[in-house]
Chain A
């Protein structure tokens, strides 16, 4: 991954105090450690407010983060390999079906399941120990993972688990 990966999609993102927000979002991960860390200014945070409750009913002004690979099956397949290579499966299980970390294929999300929200979770990390991978992967690597995760189809009839023979 190179610094080029940080170009277009993030240029459209909201302006904000990136370092502070990165810390607030709980990065315990390899921000600074990786030799492949993206160079240049850190990208501004991507926060989608759709799944939040806005005070006073007004949403704060925000920009947009767009997945350059949305729906691309070949990129999703690369993302599946990256999911293993970056040890994501060590926590989230084979096929992202859940182990120590949550199932990512059940269509349900702690921190939002839209592309920009999943991007933020991976790029910056989350406070219960999800490391931030933005430094190690760069933006395009994270989008590749987002594309894979969003390609996982949630099962039908998820809320009900029946134990009796129907």
Chain B
């Protein structure tokens, strides 16, 4: 431990003081929350691995989780222990990084209902854990939140928070703010009444529940405290719906949350409106496909902004809300940056929700632009969908998103750039009338995908959120589904669906190293300093998650389920099959 302390102080001395976002985490070599810091930057101040020596990166350890579903999320490193949560059945592993071969200290195997598998729209994934107050806190697919003693692996509390019978599952990684554990539920495909809840960190008891749609009282809107930047009359979560439509209106929360301690605001995005057939829910459908800012102590809604009013394309806004200090037009701005499924990258003023920049980062044709004065997209009416409109052809991007919300970006205060995976896919969208049947999908859609222009299906890109411009991008043969990591060594990291894990120069995108990790990557790379004082990078392999990734015959675990290859990714199964593996890379 002494060596770590010495390294720590040396590193602190060489760090630039300016440029860190509010909510930045200390440079202690650990990674204790999903995005490393409250600002959700996935930026590490570690510098041992840099653009000069990164070509020497190689695997130093790997471990099979024994689980075949999509391995989203990321490990945590707290002290000399690495914590890993698997997809269902949500095993929690604690690896001792101080011993050769990193043997387990313990594993925790909760009893998670298999019934949850059937109401997981998009594979049985889990997006990771949060460390706070000596506890590892994470969610079980079947609607429970658990706290486990980080030292002993003993369960401290286990609270039922969601109801599988209603189509709710819990895949999100919690965010702990002071003594509140914030979580949300997935189920936008099952017509849930979407919500976030805060649990007491010590006891696990639910302190408050805030719905994302519905009456002000359910949404924890206290009119004197609610100041949306554009629209939001009283009971806005009801008036923009047909009678009772909000009761089964979706607005799930399954992506990434962030927190600004100076403003004391919690930020998160809401998912799609249900059902997919937009004819059944005339109105804006507030506050689906939106970003919401709440007080973590009591849940009060402070502002909200809807990226996609009357969502007609399954454009969830559950992707990360990254907090960064940007220089826009010569002025320092406390910004919130979001790469939406709808193909626009948004830069907002995070105290108010006011829109500053909104530019497409992939091919977009459902809207021409976003009006910065009104905050509303200028929609191409030919691309609106609904059962009455038949099969609407060639909408870009497809409903998997310009980037999947499952694939969070990273922000470097060194380069002032954001790094993100993207997908280059478009879709046809044929809606049909559908009925709400509790516990079954509430959708009404048939929508084949096809490749966007250019001869590639995905990219990893660097984005300037102050101007809304792409700085560089690397084309990939398949949609790109991993999260991003960037370090003070100016190296960025990502994985690909065909199973490569790559390090690239954060300033140019030049590939510095690559290694085939055994299965497609849908997880998020992270980095830490081990007990030996060396910097390591860890990532999961394990393809799965979301519809696109359930297509194709790379599932080999079930002899009674054989798929034809999807025509938009005909070759994917040539390069990958399922399988969860934790990889650690070092110099």
Q: Which residues does A use to contact B, with CB under 8 Å?
A: 26, 28-30, 33, 84-91, 94, 97-103, 106, 108-110, 127-131, 136, 155, 158-159, 161, 163
A103 to B121, CA, bound (A): 15
Nearest A residue (CB) for B571: A163
Indicate the member of B119, B121, B189, B563 with the most A CB atoms within 10 Å.
B563
* B435, B442, B446, B564 pick with most chain A CB within 10 angstroms: B564
Distance, CA A103 to CA B89, complexed state (A): 23
Measured in the bound complex, the distance between the Cα atoms of B558 and A85 in whole Å is 27
Q: A103 touching B118 by the CB < 8 A rule? A: no
Contact of B559 among A86, A94, A108 (CB under 8 A): A108
- The tally of CB-CB contacts under 8 A between chains A and B is 94
- Chain A residues near B432 (CB-CB < 8 A): 84
What residue in chain B is nearest A95 (Cβ atoms)?
A: B446
CB proximity to A under 8 Å, residues B549-563: 550, 553, 558-563
Given known contacts A87-B442, A90-B440, A158-B562, A100 and B435 CB-to-CB distance under 8 angstroms: no
CB pair B562–A103 under 8 Å, yes or no, is yes
Question: Interface 1/0s, chain B 420-438, versus A by CB < 8 A?
Answer: 0000000000001011011
- Docked complex Cα distance between A84 and B573 (Å): 29
Residues of B within 8 A of A101 (CB): 118
Q: A139 CA to B558 CA in the complex, in Å?
A: 29
B443 touches A98 (CB 8 A): no
The answer to whether A29 and B439 have CB atoms under 8 Å apart is yes
> Does B476 make an interface contact (CB < 8 A)?
no
Q: Tell me the interface secondary structure of chain B in the complex.
A: loop
Q: B-side interface residues toward A, CB under 8 Å?
A: 114-123, 164-165, 189, 432, 434-435, 437-443, 446, 547, 550, 553, 558-565, 571, 573-574
Pick the 8 closest A-B CB pairs, nearest first.
A129-B118, A90-B441, A102-B561, A87-B440, A108-B560, A110-B560, A106-B562, A163-B574
Known: A30-B437, A109-B560. A131 touches B118 (CB 8 A): yes
Q: Is the interface of A mostly helix, strand, loop or mixed?
A: loop
Instruction: Evaluate contact between B440 and A28: CB separation under 8 angstroms.
Output: no
A128 to B116, CA, bound (A): 7
Say whether A87 contacts B118, CB under 8 Å: no
Instruction: Given the known inter-chain contacts A28-B164, A100-B550, A109-B560, please indicate yes or no for A127 contacting B441, CB distance below 8 A.
Output: no
Complex CA gap A97/B448 in Å reads 13
* A25 → B minimal CB distance (Å): 12
Asked if residues A86 and B437 are in contact (CB atoms below 8 Å), the reply is yes
Flag if B114 contacts A108 (CB, 8 Å).
Answer: no
Please state if A127 and B560 are interface contacts (CB–CB under 8 Å): no
Q: Do B439 and A86 have beta carbons less than 8 Å apart?
A: no
A136 closest partner in B (C-beta): B437
Would you give 11 A-B contacts (Cβ < 8 Å), ordered by A?
A: A28-B118, A28-B165, A28-B439, A91-B441, A98-B563, A103-B561, A103-B563, A106-B562, A108-B562, A129-B115, A158-B562
Complex CA distance for A99 and B553, rounded to whole angstroms: 12
Residues of A within 8 A of B442 (CB): 87, 90
Beyond contacts A108-B561, A130-B118: 9 other A-B pairs, Cβ-Cβ < 8 A, are A33-B438, A84-B432, A98-B550, A100-B121, A100-B122, A110-B561, A127-B114, A128-B114, A128-B117
Q: Are A131 and B439 in contact (CB under 8 A)?
A: yes
Q: Which residue of B lies closest to A104 (CB)?
A: B561
B23 to A: closest C-beta gap in Å: 36
Residues of A within 8 A of B443 (CB): 87, 90
Q: Is the CB of A98 within 8 A of B114?
A: no
User: In the complex, what's the smallest C-beta–C-beta distance from A124 to chain B, in angstroms?
Assistant: 13
With A86-B440, A131-B118 as contacts: A155 and B165 at CB distance below 8 Å = no
Measured CA separation A42–B419 after assembly (Å)? 58
Complex interface: chain B residues within 8 A of A33 (CB) = 438
CB < 8 Å neighbour of A161 from B120, B547, B561, B565: B565
Smallest CB gap from B190: residue in A:
A90
Which chain B residues border A161 with CB–CB below 8 Å?
553, 565, 573
Most chain A CB atoms below 10 A, which of B432, B437, B442: B437
The one of A26, A98, A103, A129 that contacts B116, using a Cβ cutoff of 8 Å: A129
